[in-house]
Structure 1
Amino acid sequence: MLDNSVEVIMENNKKMLDTASSPLAPQLAACGQPEVVLDLAVLMSLPGVSQRRDAPVLKRLLGIFVVETSRSVGLLQAALEHGDREQVGRLAHRMKSSALAIGALHLGTEARRLDSSLKAGSPLDPADGGIIAAAWRDARQALLDEGLLGADELRSIEASIGS
């Protein structure tokens, strides 16, 4: 039951954010300000979280986000190395949606930039893999810094990826 609820919440937020972006991100970028790495307002306002850091659905959402994003970043880097434009496009699009739905704005913005670039016909740039990976490292660190995930918890989640 909880797994289904989490999936519904993430899907609803992905649909909403596929067509809309955080109003803060473009304004900060236009002013030369660094991107917001993690927008807690987005994360805490998710249905089922309701501003509660101890909400069970929050831990479940973050677990799914970490697993899926870690996998996607690795797959994206490999697809860029192999010149697999279609795979890069799918991964960037999916990563954009999930990152923005969770409030990982910088990661979502970089994934959106890559997605838009590919849709505009730009050639693949292997450097994009490093940019996305760095934005993912920043998002992971923000989750740790905010105490939303502990270091042991994050290691445990990431260890399950290889299983």
Structure 2
Amino acid sequence: MLDNSVEVVMESRKKMLDTTTLPFTLHNSACEPPAVVLDLAVLMSLPGVSQRRDAPVLKRLLGIFVGEMSRSVGLLQGGFAQGDREQIGRLTHRMKSSALAMGAMCLGALALRLDAHLKAGVPLDPADGSAIAAAWADVRQAFLDEGLLSPDELGSIEASIGS
């Protein structure tokens, strides 16, 4: 029964993530082409953003997201290095939700897949961690390419992680 419900959820997520007509795709990303790296429609529809790139709440949300995701990807890499399924599971569970909520579709899909694999008892594969790190690099680049964050802003946010 549980296996069937996981399949139903995964199938509905696949349909939900089929956003191939959205603007920011990257065909050489960690996800299968065409990979939607950043769904601007999702990002711009967040509460308080109201389709405005200059909305102050957007900068705050991006700052929180970049800080948390950078920290999580680093911890995820450490979890893979140590073979710590529990840590990897906690991180991917959080990552999938926040990535999808912010429109980072490929990153969210990879975290969702890894989370499901962990719950199903599939052995750890370091390639999964590498794929998530690559997808996060794609999202960071998309923020820069779209002018949502400047290189200085991105650097400042990431520098504050160690503080």
Report the TM range for the smaller structure's normalisation.
0.7 to 0.9
* Counterpart position of 2:38: 38
Note the residue ranges of structure 2 that are not aligned, 5 or more in a row.
1-11, 21-31
**Distance in 1, Cα, partners of 2:33 & 2:144:** 23
Q: Please tell me whether the aligned partners of residues 21 and 100 of structure 1 are also in contact (alpha carbons under 8 angstroms).
A: no
Q: How many angstroms apart in 1 are the aligned matches of 2:108 and 2:154?
A: 20
> Does structure 1 conserve the Cα–Cα contact (< 8 Å) formed by 2:19 and 2:36?
no
1:151 corresponds in structure 2 to 151
Q: Does 1:25 align with 2:47?
A: no
> What TM-score do the two structures reach when normalised by structure 2?
0.82
1:98 alignment partner in structure 2: 98
Equivalent residue runs for 1:2-151 within 5 Å: 21=13, 23=15, 25-26=17-18, 28=20, 33-151=33-151
1:36 is paired with a residue whose SS is strand
- Structure whose residues are more often strand by fraction: 2
Query: After the TM superposition, which parts of structure 1 deviate over 6 Å for at least 4 consecutive aligned residues?
Result: none
TM-score computed with the length of structure 1 as normaliser: 0.82
CA distance in structure 2 between the partners assigned to 1:155 and 1:27 by the alignment? 30
Hey, which of these two has a bigger chunk of helix by percent? 1
Q: What's the offset of the Cα at 1:153?
A: 0.7
Give me the CA root mean square deviation. 1.6
For residue 90 of structure 1, report the CA deviation from its aligned partner.
0.6
Partner secondary structure for residue 37 of structure 1: strand
Structure 1 unaligned blocks of 5 or more: 1-19
| Aligned residues with identical type, % of pairs | 73
Give the conservation status (yes or no) of the 8 Å contact 1:92–1:115: yes
* Corresponding residue pairs, total: 141
CA positional deviation for 1:74: 0.5
How far apart in 2 are the matches of 1:21 and 1:43?
A: 18
The letter of the residue matching 2:57 is V
How far did residue 77 of structure 1 move?
Answer: 0.7
